[in-house]
Chains A and B, each alone.
Chain A
Amino acid sequence: MILTMSYFELLKLASPETIVVITALAVLAIGLVTGHAKSRVTVSTMKSAQNTKDTSFAMGTCSAIAALGLVIAIGTVLMLPRNATLFGGMLVITPLTSLFKIICIALAFFTVLLTTSEKEPRHPGEYLALVLFATVGLMLLVGSEELLMIFIGLELLGLSLYVMTAFDKTDVRSAEAGLKYLLFGSTSSAFTFFGISLIYGMTGTTGLAGISQKLGAASVQPLLAVGIVMTLIGFAFKIAAAPFHLWAPDAYQGGPVPSAAFIASASKVASFVVLGKIVLVGFAPLHGNAAWHAMVAGWSPMLAALAALSILVGNLVALAQSNVRRLLAYSAVAHSGYTLIGIVAGDRDGLSAALFYATIYAITLVGAFGVVAMVRRETGGDNFSNFRGLVSRSPLIAGCMCVFMLSLAGIPPLAGFFGKFYLFSAALRAGANNGLLWLVAVALLGSFISLYYYLMVLKAIFVDEPAFPPVRHVYVVPSDLLPRTAVVVLAMAVFLLGVAPEILAAPILAAVP
């Protein structure tokens, strides 16, 4: 098959990835040219106006090109054929992969818009190039049904994210977060890789379809079970499911805001797509059963346990947070738990509910981080006290944050409410005789707890008096317009997907095999 494949054909099918890579290189080059003068000056603490102008010009050019490249990439994804398979599943094109490539690229696009809100961008070219490389990693992850390729995608993504997290050289927290993320992340990669190698050793193939065939044919050997568990642990790290979530709070709080937004959104969506594919396609014969009185060993009880634990730990720990980014990190743990419920359900409905939920969660979180970025830029921090009185400073942004928080809490008519209903009903329908009711009950308890801390954020914004007199018209610079627009667009999307969820739910349901 490899012999018959022409190089041109490969380039055509991988054109979105190629375009993003080319854009990344172009952005890198432009960053080198325009940001050159600046990188010499930053050694001293003196900053001239000329210097700032330089960087903001570099930032503007780089982000414009990055955004343009991403838009073109979306266009090329749309032009791909509906179905294609290269190299025995190394690169697969199905409606599902195309849809999620578009979603990932769109999320990356919004991350690029958020990047422009950074007050003093350093090395914007390098930063944006990293974002784009990470996006390529996401696209490879989504578009592959072969464990080796998936691993390469994961590593490309991971390595870019570690650097993105540690990118803020002026903040010691950023360095700490980067280091923690690197250590945890590489450990999890080791787990995944070891798991994959065991699975390969036992089944003789790395293609998901082949693995599924082999698993169905033979009885399960202990070594294979170890391989599966290790692979899943690796992914649990990636999606920050408890008890493998410990890197998340630091990465969310310490890293630059756009990095955190990217980790929380695009990276998570792609991880869920891959996780869903691996367990539902690759490990399908070992589904097991997570129903209360009918537990059967397999991956689904394991994921169910992870889900329940994540929901409880994430929500309970989030109660005690006073930093909005840290709070969002713990709520992310809880939301990973909710999303896992769909995968535990394990049928077409469950997977599409999980992917729908992951997507709207990602949209919401990018928006929320956008608001955090703006508050940070204006007040210099992201604790509750920095959010106080936001409604009088900027009613529009406060309203958007209200939309995001309430959607996360699952209040109608926002997307989160429909997402939860879809997810939980799919889970109940999957387990015969309401078997998964226990998991749904845990999730509902969790979302009851969560309303409290989301309301605490909103209380700071809407109820509390400002901690300090509002400083008006100090940072009103033109570049504020982009992130502001992005946040408003995302809030409208969250509202629209709540009122008319079929816009997204129908394509996902149609695309899930």
Chain B
Amino acid sequence: MIAWTIYLTLAGAVLLLLLPCRFARWIALLTTIAGLALGLIALVRTPIADLAHFTTIVRVPWVLALGMNYHLAIDGVSLTMVLVTGISAVSSVLFSWDVEHRQNEFFFWLLLVVAGCYGVFLSADLFLFFAFYELVIVPKYFLIAVFGSTNKEYGAMKLTLYSFFGGMLVFVGVLTAYVTAGTLDLNQLSQFQFSPQLQAWALPVLFLGFAVLAGIWPLHTWAPTGHVAAPTAGSMLLAGIVMKLGSYAGLRVAMNLFPQGFQMWSKWIVLLAVVGIVYAAAVALRQRDLKFVIGYSSVSHMGFVLLGLAATTGLSVSGAVLQMFSHGVIAALLFAVAGRMIYRRTHTRELDVLAGMDLSDALPFAAFTFIIAAAASMGIPGFSGFAAEITILIGAWKTYPFAVWVTGAGMVLVAAFTLRALKQSFFGEKERGVHLQEGRVPLDPDWNEQQNITAPEKCGACLLMLATLAVGLYPKVLLDRIMPAVEAMRFLK
């Protein structure tokens, strides 16, 4: 039944093209809610034992001549990712409730991204997987280039080309695996013994291709520019789930297919991950644009995922998967506050300017949300960020203790830039020049905006906060499903 997440989302996208625009947002909302509901039902109903292996849901012959099947499967890792996709999708629709311009098209591209992500997380056929993976690239371009803000055409093109470049590397790896093993079935491929020589070169190509999307350090620059240029829903989806496509694929495909190659290269990946964590946090500390701060924080947090994967212990990889979930929710929340709640009302994201407004008075709900998001992002116990990052660090301690030391130091930087952003955006000192009416935000009179946080925004924010709190307080609900699935994977043995 979980396969219907893909079908419903695609059906919603097609419907959007056919129906007039006054239905657009409702169609989008209903389809994304349906996706989330299906994910939750699967979470409750599927027995945990079934989630320990990549269990087939659908398997239909597709192109017989090439051995392609339409093959979907699920395990604990996929389920976690499906859940975070559903949550981010619903909240991103809620946070784009007042898109006026070319509504149908906007939600069409948005749903296409969501459907592609569901597809990637559920496919068990390498070709199908790759098709969904590439499907996500172009809708992002249109979302950003048509509906974005600051420097949108540049940001959109840069992001698309980076993703497509990664996609080309992946293409090489996928072809090599397919031609060598003669099958496209991921379960069969993960049993196949590739020669060590092949693994030694194919793994870095494949993993790097995926890691571009996950924002690995020297190839991360698309992420901040893209996030800044994107419309709010776009940034939420990008940081929330699209970046996870890269890390999920690295785990599901690269590490499972070429375990020996991964062993050879893991220390280099750890190096890049740690550099990424520290470097991006340091850069975030110096940004003036709130969205840039959050963009770099995404890169930093994704560094944790890569570290968890590269440490290759059961605990660290499970932590990485949990971090994918956690960061998906938190990043969406941060971008929602910065791009939507603040920017729509002040038309600026400059921290220096925001500092003069003291927004906590004017937008108390936004301030509250941002505090929660910041706390979760810093890794305060009780939120999902803490549960995930501590799992990663404990898991990685066995294999790369030095990396854990450096990362621990890096976490101070994360706290520093998060607190700085929080203070400047909401708790700055009121400058004398800016006169605010009580409970009002300085507005350009031409922009006839709503002053108060609207109901859809509140719903979206509550959904995200609830998710991070729930997982933070009771991580077992996901970890119980993730850990057996991870431990069944080959690279651990």
Cβ of A441 within 8 Å of any chain B Cβ, yes or no, is yes
B175/A424 in contact, CB under 8 A: yes
Q: Which residues of B contact A451 (CB under 8 A)?
A: 160-161, 164
Cβ of A506 within 8 Å of any chain B Cβ, yes or no, is yes
B65/A425 in contact, CB under 8 A: no
B179/A429 in contact, CB under 8 A: yes
Q: Which residues of A contact B62 (CB under 8 A)?
A: 502
B132/A412 in contact, CB under 8 A: yes
A413/B135 in contact, CB under 8 A: yes
Which stretch (B139-147, B368-376, B378-386) binds chain A?
Answer: B139-147
Q: Which residues of A contact B176 (CB under 8 A)?
A: 428, 434, 437
Cβ of B171 within 8 Å of any chain A Cβ, yes or no, is yes
Cβ of B400 within 8 Å of any chain A Cβ, yes or no, is no
Most buried by A among B127, B134, B135, B171: B171
A502 and B65 in contact, given A424-B175, A448-B168, A463-B146 (Cβ under 8 angstroms):
yes
Cβ < 8 Å to A, chain B residues 124-141: 127, 130-132, 134-135, 137-138, 141
Q: How far is the CA of A441 from the CA of B202 in the complex (A)?
A: 13
A412/B131 in contact, CB under 8 A: yes
Report how many A-B pairs have Cβ atoms within 8 Å: 78
Closest chain-A Cβ to B144's Cβ sits at a distance in Å of 10
A428 and B179 in contact, given A422-B66, A447-B168 (Cβ under 8 angstroms):
yes
A425 and B178 in contact, given A444-B171, A451-B161 (Cβ under 8 angstroms):
yes
Cβ < 8 Å to A, chain B residues 453-492: none
B64/A502 in contact, CB under 8 A: yes
A455 and B141 in contact, given A417-B131, A448-B164 (Cβ under 8 angstroms):
yes
Closest chain-B Cβ to A409's Cβ sits at a distance in Å of 8
A406/B63 in contact, CB under 8 A: no
Q: Which residues of A contact B179 (CB under 8 A)?
A: 425, 428-429, 434
Cβ of A119 within 8 Å of any chain B Cβ, yes or no, is no
Q: How far is the CA of A387 from the CA of B168 in the complex (A)?
A: 29
A412/B134 in contact, CB under 8 A: yes
Cβ of A283 within 8 Å of any chain B Cβ, yes or no, is no
Cβ < 8 Å to B, chain A residues 384-408: 391, 399, 406
A411/B138 in contact, CB under 8 A: yes
B63/A505 in contact, CB under 8 A: yes
Number of interface residues of A (CB under 8 A): 34
Q: How far is the CA of A455 from the CA of B127 in the complex (A)?
A: 24
Q: Which residues of B contact A445 (CB under 8 A)?
A: 168
B65/A448 in contact, CB under 8 A: no
Cβ of A466 within 8 Å of any chain B Cβ, yes or no, is no
Q: Which residues of A contact B164 (CB under 8 A)?
A: 448, 451
* Per-residue contact bits, chain B 75-98, to A (CB 8 Å; 1 contact, 0 not): 000000000000000000000000
* Per-residue contact bits, chain A 411-439, to B (CB 8 Å; 1 contact, 0 not): 11100011001101100110000100100
B157/A452 in contact, CB under 8 A: yes
Q: Which residues of B contact A458 (CB under 8 A)?
A: 141-142
Closest chain-A Cβ to B166's Cβ sits at a distance in Å of 10
Cβ of B172 within 8 Å of any chain A Cβ, yes or no, is yes
A452: which of B134, B161, B168 is its contact (CB, 8 Å)? B161
A505/B153 in contact, CB under 8 A: no
Q: Which residues of A contact B146 (CB under 8 A)?
A: 462-463
Q: Which residues of B contact A429 (CB under 8 A)?
A: 179
Chain A's closest residue to B182 (CB) is A429
Cβ of A288 within 8 Å of any chain B Cβ, yes or no, is no
* Per-residue contact bits, chain B 54-79, to A (CB 8 Å; 1 contact, 0 not): 00000000111110000000000000
A462/B142 in contact, CB under 8 A: yes
Closest chain-A Cβ to B229's Cβ sits at a distance in Å of 12
B63/A502 in contact, CB under 8 A: yes
Cβ of B165 within 8 Å of any chain A Cβ, yes or no, is yes
Closest chain-B Cβ to A433's Cβ sits at a distance in Å of 10
Q: How far is the CA of A509 from the CA of B64 in the complex (A)?
A: 11
A425/B175 in contact, CB under 8 A: yes
* Per-residue contact bits, chain A 343-382, to B (CB 8 Å; 1 contact, 0 not): 0000000000000000000000000000000000000000
Q: Which residues of B contact A452 (CB under 8 A)?
A: 157, 161
A455/B168 in contact, CB under 8 A: no
Interface SS of chain A = helix
Number of interface residues of B (CB under 8 A): 33
Q: Which residues of A contact B165 (CB under 8 A)?
A: 448
A440/B131 in contact, CB under 8 A: no
Cβ of A501 within 8 Å of any chain B Cβ, yes or no, is yes
A440/B142 in contact, CB under 8 A: no
B175/A440 in contact, CB under 8 A: yes
Q: How far is the CA of A509 from the CA of B63 in the complex (A)?
A: 12
Chain A's closest residue to B17 (CB) is A399
A406/B138 in contact, CB under 8 A: yes
B175/A428 in contact, CB under 8 A: yes
Chain B's closest residue to A498 (CB) is B131
* Per-residue contact bits, chain B 388-399, to A (CB 8 Å; 1 contact, 0 not): 000000000000
Interface SS of chain B = helix
Q: Which residues of A contact B171 (CB under 8 A)?
A: 424, 444
A506 and B65 in contact, given A425-B175, A428-B175 (Cβ under 8 angstroms):
yes
Chain B's closest residue to A406 (CB) is B138
Q: Which residues of A contact B63 (CB under 8 A)?
A: 418, 501-502, 505
Cβ of A459 within 8 Å of any chain B Cβ, yes or no, is yes
Q: Which residues of A contact B172 (CB under 8 A)?
A: 437, 440-441, 444
Q: Which residues of B contact A447 (CB under 8 A)?
A: 168
Closest chain-B Cβ to A116's Cβ sits at a distance in Å of 27
A444 and B168 in contact, given A413-B131, A428-B179 (Cβ under 8 angstroms):
yes
Q: Which residues of B contact A506 (CB under 8 A)?
A: 64-65
Closest chain-B Cβ to A130's Cβ sits at a distance in Å of 38
Q: How far is the CA of A226 from the CA of B141 in the complex (A)?
A: 49
Q: Which residues of A contact B127 (CB under 8 A)?
A: 421
Q: How far is the CA of A391 from the CA of B108 in the complex (A)?
A: 15
Q: How far is the CA of A277 from the CA of B176 in the complex (A)?
A: 28
Q: Which residues of A contact B138 (CB under 8 A)?
A: 406, 411
Q: Which residues of B contact A448 (CB under 8 A)?
A: 161, 164-165, 168
Q: Which residues of A contact B141 (CB under 8 A)?
A: 455, 458
A463 and B178 in contact, given A441-B172, A505-B63 (Cβ under 8 angstroms):
no
B175/A411 in contact, CB under 8 A: no
Most buried by B among A418, A428, A455, A501: A455
Chain A's closest residue to B148 (CB) is A463
A455: which of B131, B132, B134, B157 is its contact (CB, 8 Å)? B157
Q: How far is the CA of A156 from the CA of B260 in the complex (A)?
A: 59
Q: How far is the CA of A206 from the CA of B175 in the complex (A)?
A: 39
Closest chain-B Cβ to A478's Cβ sits at a distance in Å of 25
Cβ < 8 Å to B, chain A residues 439-471: 440-441, 444-445, 447-448, 451-452, 455, 458-459, 462-463
Q: How far is the CA of A424 from the CA of B175 in the complex (A)?
A: 8
Most buried by B among A428, A451, A501: A451
Q: Which residues of A contact B175 (CB under 8 A)?
A: 421, 424-425, 428, 440
Chain A's closest residue to B102 (CB) is A391
Q: How far is the CA of A406 from the CA of B142 in the complex (A)?
A: 13
* Per-residue contact bits, chain B 1-40, to A (CB 8 Å; 1 contact, 0 not): 0000000000000000100000000000000000000000
Closest chain-A Cβ to B65's Cβ sits at a distance in Å of 5
Q: Which residues of B contact A425 (CB under 8 A)?
A: 66, 175, 178-179
Chain A's closest residue to B179 (CB) is A428
Q: Which residues of A contact B105 (CB under 8 A)?
A: 391
Q: How far is the CA of A323 from the CA of B202 in the complex (A)?
A: 39
Chain A's closest residue to B157 (CB) is A455
In the complex, 18 of the A-B residue pairs with CB atoms within 8 angstroms, ordered by the A residue number, are A399-B17, A412-B132, A417-B131, A418-B63, A422-B66, A424-B175, A425-B178, A429-B179, A434-B179, A447-B168, A448-B164, A451-B160, A452-B157, A452-B161, A458-B141, A459-B153, A506-B64, A509-B65
- A sample of 6 more A-B contacts (CB under 8 A), given A412-B134, A421-B127, A429-B179, is A399-B17, A412-B131, A412-B132, A434-B179, A437-B176, A463-B146
Rank and list the top 4 A-B pairs by shortest CB-CB distance, nearest first: A412-B131, A428-B179, A444-B168, A448-B168
A residues engaging B (CB < 8 A)?
391, 399, 406, 411-413, 417-418, 421-422, 424-425, 428-429, 434, 437, 440-441, 444-445, 447-448, 451-452, 455, 458-459, 462-463, 501-502, 505-506, 509
